[in-house]
A and B are shown apart, each in its own frame.
Chain A
Amino acid sequence: MRRTTIAISVLVGMVTGALAAETTRWVERTKVDVRAGRGSFYEIVDTVLKGEQVQILTTEDRWASVRTAREKTGWVYEAALKPTPVQPGTSDFLKAAPGDVSTSRTAASQGAKGLYAQGYAKEKGYDYGVVEWVEAHQPDRAQIEAFLKDPGEKTGGAR
């Protein structure tokens, strides 16, 4: 009886371990945004940092639906994840960001927006307003989704 119990425990442990190994991935990049959909134009629901674990819920067309340690679910590009543990770490650039971006997910999710480029533009006499105008006038998620659904007319002929 005792042997059977041990055998079952070992078996359960192996199955659980196998399942965990199948569904756990580690973040390979310094920061990865977890988004509400499969595209860079979807809202950011969480940001995971290098070395963090995420649980894979499903995969579709190069994207993985994941659950983060903070129980947030969203989509991550699969290439940003690794099946084996990754040492946590950040870049010197993110370390230099005010607000300690290297450890603050909120700050990291906003990137280091303009943090360096503004100073560079100032030094060179460039108009940084160009960057801000371009960033402010991109289509939003709803517009991109609508556009992707509307293929436009087919007028292709012989090549």
Chain B
Amino acid sequence: MSRRAGSRLALALVLALVGCESTGNVGGVPGAILGGMTQTLTGANPADIRGAATDIDEPEEIELGRAVTAAIGSRYKLLRDENLTRYVALVGNAVALQSDRPDLRYYFGVLDTDEVNAFAAAGGYVFITRGTLALVHDEATLAGVLGHEVGHIALRHHVETIRDQKKAAVTRGVGTSLFQIGSGFIPGAGGTATRAFVSSPLMNLTADGLVNLTLKGWSRSEEDQADGVGVKYASQAGYDAAGLRDFLKAVTEGGQQPAKSGFLAKFASTHPGADERLKHQEAQLKTAPPGGRRATARFQQAVAALPQ
């Protein structure tokens, strides 16, 4: 079973448990709904509801990206190092500017874990772990890894999944009440003021599926696609196109060392087929433009404070 098929099955099971959700329920947000302020599509043609509900635009994708980011930040500890975060984001922005969605605002963060991994949430949110930075030796390699993650976003891999999951949810009858307005105190958010927010059972299911997908990983085909464009973006940004190849090489070599294999195991599960990807990279490099910068000293300076 492919990963995506597995996700669909998981979603179907969730939906089966949820059953046919009715209007008026806000998916467990306690006491937050303001009476009379809910917005629904009651009275609309069911076909129109399906069409509207499965449509996805950028603001909604970005919001789902924020939801996934909150989930990632709860699974891992965020490394709140301003200088390191800024440096990773500078490299990431240089690469993203060359992407197929250069008009999307990208946000980059570092996760404080030895685990070797990187994540692309929907809507432009990208995370790389401290363990990955420890495996990287120069900026070109970092650009290759970030280019791959930006690639998932630029190729709209999330959007396709969001659409699939929304269609499945709407077919099951979830989401006749699309959005409802609420307000309340948001734990973790700055300040103590009550904030307004919207809730939607349909969107919650979509976000759950997206969190699952982001943390568990993409299909091999999506990984290959992200590699292909990631190398292109990094190269067009002026980096040596061999960066991603060098990273995959470090991953496959590290996986054979007992001391490192544990930290790399998660990467293997979320980014399948590193050996095959490495072969593809070697082939792609034969036609990639030569040269490009490595910026080793700048990278080493930026990560110097990281614990080894």
Contacts and interface: CB of A to CB of B under 8 A. Distances in A.
A131 interface: yes
A41 to B, nearest CB: 6
Contacts of A147: 90, 93-94
A155 B293 contact: yes
B186 interface: yes
Interface in B6-40: 27-29, 32, 39
A152 B198 contact: no
A137 interface: yes
Interface size class of A (residues with CB under 8 A): 35 or more
Nearest to B68: A117
Contacts of B29: 119, 122-123
- Interface footprint category on B: 35 or more
Given A118-B189, A126-B74, A134-B78, A143 B90 contact: yes
Nearest to B66: A117
B258 interface: no
B67 A130 contact: no
Interface of A: 29-33, 35, 38-41, 62-63, 76-77, 79-80, 91-98, 108, 111-112, 114-135, 137-139, 143-144, 147-148, 151-156, 159
29 contacts: A31-B59, A32-B103, A38-B102, A95-B39, A96-B178, A111-B59, A116-B200, A118-B195, A119-B29, A122-B197, A123-B29, A125-B74, A128-B70, A128-B187, A129-B188, A130-B72, A131-B66, A132-B190, A134-B108, A134-B109, A137-B85, A137-B89, A138-B86, A143-B90, A144-B90, A152-B294, A153-B294, A156-B140, A156-B242
Given A96-B181, A123-B29, A124-B74, 6 more contacts: A30-B58, A116-B198, A121-B67, A123-B199, A138-B85, A155-B138
Interface of B: 27-29, 32, 39, 41, 52-53, 55-60, 62-64, 66-67, 69-74, 78, 80, 82, 85-86, 89-90, 93-94, 96-97, 102-109, 125, 138-140, 178-182, 184, 186-190, 195-200, 203-204, 207, 238, 240, 242, 245, 285, 291-298
Query: What are the 5 closest A-B residue pairs judged by CB atoms, nearest first?
Result: A130-B73, A152-B295, A96-B179, A129-B188, A117-B66
